[in-house]
Amino acid sequence: MTAVIEYDAGNIRSVIHALERLDAGEVVLTSDPAAIRAAERVILPGVGDASVVLASLRKAGMAELVCSLTQPVLGICAGMQILCSHSEEGDVDGLGIFRTQVKRFRPDDPSLKVPHMGWNNLQAMSGPLFEGLPEPTYTYFVHSFYAEPCEDTIALCTHGVPFSAALRRRNFFGTQFHPEKSGPAGAAILANFLKI
């Protein structure tokens, strides 16, 4: 069973539909701690302001629970950013799983728009999320803040500066891009997560 954590995250339905298209077995949208702990894997979606997403997670009593999980966990977009140490968005401390800072894009080149929106390529891909995918692989991004590259980085992308397109530490994975909106490549990445 795959648990998708329910906490007013924004992109929950599109994530669930993407999993259903993969015939992922039982997918449960839940805020029940017992169901989340019992799941084979957990997805932490998130769209919008990371400080608001983090506040929603904490209000729902989910922050400590997420940090204690031992099965594979995938944070998507703001769901990844809140797993980092700190975010400039709202000047808020994250859950500290990934040891990196989340910064705002401040491109010197006026042709580089913020938010970074659309398709961009993944480079320096490593680990089970990207098994079977060519490099570069193109995925879909919508974000104004980015996680700085660090020892947990498992894929890079560039928008004025290089940033972490994906992160991993122990059983925790994160993607800055939206696999549920990234066509066949995103479906392959989600399918790989379901095998972990």
Query: Which active-site residues does the annotation give?
Result: 77, 178, 180
Q: What are 86's two structure tokens? A: 């700190």
Report which residue type is found at 71: Q
- State the DSSP string of 121-176: EEBS--SGGGTT--SSEEEEEEESEEEPP-TTEEEEEEESEEEEEEEEETTEEEES
Q: What are 187's two structure tokens? A: 């479906």
**What is the Cα–Cα distance from 172 to 27, expressed in whole angstroms?**
19
Q: What are 192's two structure tokens? A: 């790989």
Sheet holding 145-147, edge to edge: 92-93, 84-87, 98-104, 145-147
Q: What are 10's two structure tokens? A: 């924004």
